[in-house]
Amino acid sequence: MTVPAPGYKKLSVAIPVYNEERVLPQLYARLAAVFDALPAGPHEIVFVDDGSRDGSLEWLGALARVDPRVKVVALSRNFGHQAAISAALDHVTGDVVVVMDADLQDTPETIPRFLEKHAEGFDVVYAVRHERKEGWLLRASYAAFYRVIKSLADIDLPLGAGDFALLSRRVVDQLRQSEERNRYLRGLRTWVGFRQTGLLVEREARAAGESKYTPQKLFKLAFDGIFAFSTAPLRAATVLGAATIIASLAFAAFTLYERVFLGQSPAGFTALVVGITFLSGVQLLFLGVIGEYVGRVYEEVKRRPHYLVDRVISAETLDAEYATRETVERPTKKRKQRSENPKSRTRTTRP
Ligand code: UDP
Ligand code: MG
C-alpha cells in the first residue's frame, strides 16, 4: 500500500493566548505528540501572547528557547481574541495553518483529521461543534445568535462553527489582505470562499482557568458579526417606517370616518401616550443602529493597526540576539583596555 502524499510541507498552528499559564504545559505536550506523528515538517507553532498578565509569556519565551518549532509573538497589550488571531496569521509561515484556542477546548488530536480533509482538496476545514460543554444559558444564547446571524447575513455562515479551523495558504493570504478593523474572522473565512467543509468535533470543557470572554466581549463579537456582514438592520428601519406610515394613514381614515359619519370626536389620551412613547422608542433604536454603522465607518477610516507587536521570540530572533550580543561586547572590552592606559585616553579625548 502506498502512503498518500500529505499535500503540505509545513503545518503552522496559530494559537492566541491570554492568561493561560495553567493550560500551556498540557497544550504543548499534546501538540508536540501530534506533531511527532505527522509526516513532512518541521512544523511550527505560533503563539500570540495577547498581553497576558500572568506567567504565560515567560513560559512561552522559555519554550521558544528550547524548541525551534515555537515562535512567540508578544503583543504590546491585550487587543482581544480576534486581533490576536490576525497577528498569528501574519506570522505563520506554513502552507497549511490551523487556528485553535489555547484552552484545549479545541483538541490538538483533531488536527490530523483536518489534514485528511485538506488532502481531499479542501481549502478550509472548520470544526462544527457537536455538543457544547457550557451552561444552558450560554448554549441557548449561542444557538440564538447563530440563527440570527444566519438569517441576517449576506453570506451563508455555517451554524455552530467557531474559529477552530484549517486554512490553506491562499485563504490565509486573502484573510490578511482584508483590512477591516472589527474582524469577525469566522465570517471572513466563509466570505473568502474556495472549497470549504465542516467537520463534526466534540468541544471539550476548558482544561483549566476560566473563559476570557465576558458577556460584554461576547456581545461585541456578536455585533461585529452582524454589522460586518449585513445591512439588514438598516433595511429594517425602512420596513418598520413604511409599516408605521400605513398604520397611521389607516387610523387617520378611521378617525375621519368616525367624525364625519358617526359624529364622534376622537378620544383616547392613552392611545396618544402609547403612540408617542412607542414611536420615540423605535426612532431611538434605529438611531442607535445607524450609530453602530457610523461608529464602524469611523473606526475604519482611522486606519489604526489591528494590533501592535512588542517582540517576536523565535529561533531566528534568538540567533540574531546572540549575534548582536557578541558584536556589542567586543568594543566594550577594547574601551576598557584603553581606559586603563592613561596615554590612549588622552589621545581619544583630544584628537
Ligand atoms: N484570548 C485572547 N485574548 C482575549 C481573550 C481570549 O487571546 O482577549 C484567547 C484565549 O487565551 C483562548 C482563546 O482566545 O486561547 C479563546 O478564549 P476563551 O477560551 O476564553 O473563550 P471561550 O472559549 O470561552 O469562548
Ligand atoms: Mg475557550
Kindly state if the Cβ of 17 falls inside 6 Å of ligand 1. Answer: yes
**346, pLDDT greater than 80:** no
Q: Which ligand is nearest to the CA of 49?
A: 1
Q: Which of 105, 103, 120, 116 is closest to 38 using CA atoms?
A: 116
**309, pLDDT greater than 80:** yes
Q: Within a 10 A sphere around the Cβ of 92, how many other Cβ atoms?
A: 25
More confident position, 57 or 268: 57
More confident position, 253 or 183: 253
Put the strands of the sheet holding 124-129 in their side by side order.
Answer: 196-201, 124-129, 161-168, 96-99, 11-17, 44-49, 70-75, 309-313
Kindly state if the Cβ of 101 falls inside 6 Å of ligand 1. Answer: yes
Kindly state if the Cβ of 213 falls inside 6 Å of ligand 1. Answer: yes
The per-residue pLDDT of the chain, averaged, comes to: 82
C-beta of residue 116 within 8 angstroms of C-beta of residue 160: no
Kindly state if the Cβ of 224 falls inside 6 Å of ligand 1. Answer: no
Burial of 158 (0-12, 13-18, 19+ CB in 10 A): middle
Q: Which residues surround ligand 2, an ion (CB under 5 A)?
A: 101, 103, 105
Q: Which ligand is nearest to the CA of 138?
A: 1
Kindly state if the Cβ of 86 falls inside 6 Å of ligand 1. Answer: no
pLDDT at 113: 92
pLDDT at 124: 93
pLDDT at 241: 87
For residue 188, the CA-to-ligand 1 centroid distance in Å is 19
pLDDT at 134: 67
User: CA 156 to CA 174: how far, in whole Å?
Assistant: 18
Q: Which of 41, 173, 53, 30 is closest to 102 using CA atoms?
A: 30
pLDDT band at 105 (very low <50, low <70, confident <90, very high): confident
For residue 295, the CA-to-ligand 1 centroid distance in Å is 25
**351, pLDDT greater than 50:** no
Candidate ranges 55-64, 228-237, 312-321; pick with highest mean pLDDT: 55-64
More confident position, 338 or 322: 322
pLDDT band at 350 (very low <50, low <70, confident <90, very high): very low
pLDDT at 328: 52
42: preceding bond cis by omega (within 30 degrees) = yes
- pLDDT tens digits, residue range 153-192? 777 777 778 889 999 999 999 998 887 777 788 888 888 8
**2, pLDDT greater than 70:** no
pLDDT band at 85 (very low <50, low <70, confident <90, very high): very high
Percentage with pLDDT > 90 across the chain: 32
Strands of the chain, DSSP E: 11-17, 44-49, 70-75, 96-99, 124-129, 161-168, 196-201, 309-313
Mutate to test the pocket of ligand 1, among 81, 133, 221 (most ligand atoms within 8 A of CB): 81
pTM over 0.95: no
For residue 273, the CA-to-ligand 2 centroid distance in Å is 47
Nearest-atom number in ligand 1 for the CA of 16 is 7
Residue whose Cα lies nearest atom 25 of ligand 1: it is: 213
Torsions phi, psi for 32 (to 5 deg): -60, -40
C-beta of residue 307 within 8 angstroms of C-beta of residue 79: yes
- Residue 165: what residue type? A
For residue 68, the CA-to-ligand 1 centroid distance in Å is 25
Kindly state if the Cβ of 108 falls inside 6 Å of ligand 1. Answer: no
Kindly state if the Cβ of 212 falls inside 6 Å of ligand 1. Answer: yes
Can you read off the three cell numbers belonging to residue 344? Answer: 590612549
For residue 74, the CA-to-ligand 2 centroid distance in Å is 20
Kindly state if the Cβ of 49 falls inside 6 Å of ligand 1. Answer: no
Kindly state if the Cβ of 78 falls inside 6 Å of ligand 1. Answer: yes
Q: What is the mean pLDDT of residues 311-325?
A: 79
Can you read off the three cell numbers belonging to residue 85? Answer: 488571531
User: CA 31 to CA 108: how far, in whole Å?
Assistant: 6
Q: Which of 26, 15, 13 is closest to 209 using CA atoms?
A: 26
- Residue 309: what residue type? V
Domain 11-214: CATH class, spelled out: alpha beta
Kindly state if the Cβ of 8 falls inside 6 Å of ligand 1. Answer: no
Q: Which ligand is nearest to the CA of 21?
A: 1
- pLDDT tens digits, residue range 270-298? 778 888 888 888 888 889 989 989 988 89
pLDDT band at 131 (very low <50, low <70, confident <90, very high): low
Kindly state if the Cβ of 163 falls inside 6 Å of ligand 1. Answer: no
